[in-house]
Structure 1
Amino acid sequence: MIPIHENLKGKVAVITGGSGVLCSQMAIELARQGANIAILNRDAKKGRDVIERIQTSGGTGISVKADVLDKSSMEKAREEILETFGQVDFLINGAGGNHPDAVTNTETYQDEATGKSFFHLDENGFSKVFATNFTGSFISSQVFGKDLLQAKAPSILNISSMSAYVPMTKVPAYSAAKSSINNFTMWMAVHFAETGLRVNAIAPGFFLTTQNRNLLVNDDGSYTVRSNKIINGTPMKRFGKPEDLLGTMLWLLDASYSGFVTGITVPVDGGFMAYSGV
Structure 2
Amino acid sequence: MTIQMNGKIAIVTGAGGTLCSEMARNLAQQGAKVALIGRNLEKLKKVEQEITKNGGAAISVSADVTDQSQVEAARMTIINTFGFCDILINGAGGNQPDAVTTISEFNDEELNQEKGIRGFFNLSMEKFSNVIETNTMGTVIPCFVFGKDMAEKKSGVIINIASMNSFRPLSRVGAYGMAKAGIMNFTQWLAAYLAPANIRVNAIAPGFFLNERSTKLLTTPDGGFTERGGNIIRQTPLKRFGKASELIGCINWLIDDEAAGFVTGITIPVDGGFLADSGI
Query: Which of 81, 86, 96 does residue 93 from structure 2 map onto?
Result: 96
Q: Are residues 1:254 and 2:256 paired?
A: yes
What residue is the counterpart of 1:39 in the other structure? 36
Residue equivalent to 1:19 = 16
Q: Select 2:231's aligned residue among 229, 232, 238.
A: 229
In the TM superposition, residue 166 of structure 1 has moved relative to its aligned partner by 1.2
Size of the aligned set, in residue pairs, is: 275
After superposition, residues 112-151 of structure 1 pair within 5 angstroms as 112=109, 114=114, 115-151=117-153
Unaligned runs of 5+ in 1: none
In the alignment, structure 1 residue 85 sits paired with structure 2 residue 82? yes
Which AA in structure 1 matches 2:180?
Answer: K
Q: State the distance in 2 between where 1:205 and 1:153 align.
A: 30
Letter in 1 for 2:24: A
Amino acid at match of 1:263: G
Percent identity between matched residues is 49
TM-superposed CA distance for 1:151, in Å, is 4.2
What residue number does 2:53 align with? Answer: 56
Task: Give the TM-score taking structure 2 as reference length.
Answer: 0.95
Give the 3-state SS of the residue equivalent to 1:92 in structure 2. Answer: strand
Q: CA deviation at 1:152?
A: 5.9
1:273 is aligned to 275
CA distance in 1, matches of 2:80, 2:34: 14
User: Contact 1:216/1:223 (CA < 8 Å) preserved in 2?
Assistant: yes
- TM-score of the aligned structures, taking structure 1 as reference length: 0.96
Alignment RMSD (CA, Å): 1.2
Cα distance in structure 2, aligned partners of 1:197 and 1:241: 29
SS in 2 for 1:112: helix
Q: Which runs of 5+ in 2 are unaligned?
A: none
Distance in 1 between the 2:64 and 2:225 partners? 33
Q: What residue is the counterpart of 1:107 in the other structure?
A: 104
SS of equivalent residue, structure 2 residue 59: strand
The 8 Å contact of residues 97 and 211 in structure 1, kept in 2 or not, is answered as no
Change (3 A) 1:30 1:151: farther
Deviation at 1:213, TM superposition (A): 2.6
> What's the CA shift string for 1:214-234, capped at 9, x where partnerless?
321234442101011100010
Q: Which of residues 239, 242, 252 is equivalent to 2:241? A: 239
Look up the SS of the partner of 2:35 in the other structure.
Answer: strand
Output one character per residue of 1:175-216: Cα deviation in whole Å (capped at 9) or x when no partner. 000000000000000111111011000000011123323321
Amino acid at match of 1:117: G
